[in-house]
Amino acid sequence: MLTGVLEASSGDAIVYGNSIKDSIDKVQVNLGLCQQFDVLFPNLTVREHLYLVCELKDLPQAQMNQTIADTLEVVMLTEHA
How confident is the model at residue 81, as a pLDDT? Answer: 65
- The Cα–Cα gap between 62 and 43 comes to 25
> 2 and 20 in contact (C-beta within 8 Å)?
yes
The tens place of each residue's pLDDT in the chain, 81 residues long, gives 888 888 888 999 999 999 999 999 999 888 877 777 777 888 999 999 999 989 988 899 999 999 999 999 999 998 776
| CA 76 from centroid of its chain's CA atoms | 21
How confident is the model at residue 22, as a pLDDT? Answer: 93
Q: Answer positive or negative: Cα dihedral of 20, 22, 26, 28.
A: positive
Kindly report the pTM of this predicted structure: 0.57
Q: Give the domain ranges of the chain.
A: 1-34, 35-81
How confident is the model at residue 32, as a pLDDT? Answer: 77
